[in-house]
C-alpha cells in the first residue's frame, strides 16, 4: 500500500460499517508518510469499546492497532514525547511512549513522518 491508495480504501471500507459511536480513529505511520507499507497503523480513542471490537478490526485487514481512552495521545513529528496508557490485543493495559525507539532511530536517519490523520471523529466518518 502507498498512502490512501485503492488497497487502503478497500481495507477501510471493511471497517467503516462497524459501530464507531463515541470513538475516534486516527491513522499514522507509513500510510500518512507516503511509504510502501504492508500494515496500517491506527489508534482508536474513546471511553469504551464494544466487546471484541479490536479483534474484529484485526480480522478485517492488516491493521496494527492501539486503543486508548486518552484523548491527548496523538503524537505529531516535532512534538515532545508523550506517554499514555494503551490497551493491547493481548487483553492488557500497557504504558506506551511516542516517539518509540523505532521512531527515534528512523528520525535520526532522516526518515520523515507524516502527520496523523483522523478518519473517524466521535463515530462520524471523516474520510471518503
What are the φ/ψ torsions at residue 23 (nearest 5 degrees)? Answer: -115, 150
Question: What is the pLDDT, as a whole number, of residue 78?
Answer: 83
Which CATH number do you get for residue 121? 3.30.460
Cell numbers that stand for 128 in this block:
471518503
Domain annotation covers residue 36: yes
Domain annotation covers residue 47: yes
Question: What is the pLDDT, as a whole number, of residue 77?
Answer: 82
Question: What is the pLDDT, as a whole number, of residue 105?
Answer: 92
Domain annotation covers residue 77: no
Number of separate domains in the chain = 1
Question: What is the pLDDT, as a whole number, of residue 107?
Answer: 87
SS3 21: coil
> What stretch of H or E contains 9?
helix 6-16
Question: What is the pLDDT, as a whole number, of residue 68?
Answer: 96
**Residue closest to 68 by CA, chosen among 32, 96, 41:** 96
Question: What is the pLDDT, as a whole number, of residue 122?
Answer: 96
Question: What is the pLDDT, as a whole number, of residue 1?
Answer: 95
Question: Cis link prior to 25 (omega < 30° from 0)?
Answer: no
d(CA 33, CA 100): 16
CB 26 within 8 A of CB 118: yes
Domain interval for residue 42? 6-72+82-125
Question: What is the pLDDT, as a whole number, of residue 90?
Answer: 81
* Residue ranges for the chain with pLDDT beneath 70: none
Amino acid at each position: 500500500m502507498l498512502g490512501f491508495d485503492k488497497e487502503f480504501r478497500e481495507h477501510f471500507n471493511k471497517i467503516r460499517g462497524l459501530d464507531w459511536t463515541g470513538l475516534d480513529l486516527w491513522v499514522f505511520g507509513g500510510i500518512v508518510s507516503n511509504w510502501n507499507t504492508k500494515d496500517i497503523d491506527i489508534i482508536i480513542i474513546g471511553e469504551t469499546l464494544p466487546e471484541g471490537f479490536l479483534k474484529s478490526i484485526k480480522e478485517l485487514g492488516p491493521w496494527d492497532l492501539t486503543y486508548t481512552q486518552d484523548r491527548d495521545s496523538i503524537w505529531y513529528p516535532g512534538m515532545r514525547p508523550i506517554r499514555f496508557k494503551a490497551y493491547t490485543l493481548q487483553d492488557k493495559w500497557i504504558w506506551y511512549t511516542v516517539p518509540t525507539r523505532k521512531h527515534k532511530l528512523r528520525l535520526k536517519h532522516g526518515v520523515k513522518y507524516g502527520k496523523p490523520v483522523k478518519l473517524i471523529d466521535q463515530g462520524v466518518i471523516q474520510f471518503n
